Amino acid sequence: MDATALLVMVIVISVPVFLIWHYTRAASILERWAAQNGYRIIEREIRPIRRGPYFFTTGRSQAVYRVTVEDREGGIRRGYVRCGGWFLGMFSDHADVRWDPEPPDRPGFPVVFPNERGEQDS
C-alpha cells in the first residue's frame, strides 16, 4: 500500500470519528451547563449555520444550540448556548448563554377596555 492510499484511508476513518466526538462532546457540555444552573432542557437544536447572536463570534471548533429550558420555579426560557472555548474548542468545558428578550408584560392586541358603565370609549 502506497503512502497516498494510506493517507486517504486515515482521513476517511478520522473525519467521521472526529465529527461524532465533536457533537457528543457538545451535547455533554450542554447537559452539564443545564445541570449546574438548575435547568431542565425541554428542546435543543444544534445550529451549525444559523447561530443567532453567535453568528460572527463562533469558531469552527465550537457548537451552538438553540434551547428551551425550564428553571427550578417552572419558568420557561429560550436562548442560544455556545459550547466550547474559542481557542481550545471542545477541549474546553466552557458554555456561554444568551437569552431571548423577555416578552413585555402587557395584554395582547387588540384589547378593548370598557369604561365603568360597560360601554366602549369613543
pLDDT tier at 112, thresholds 50, 70, 90: low
Query: 121 versus 86: which is more confidently predicted?
Result: 86
The pTM of this model reads 0.75
Q: Does the pLDDT at position 70 exceed 70?
A: yes
> Phi and psi of 100, rounded to 5°?
-70, 150
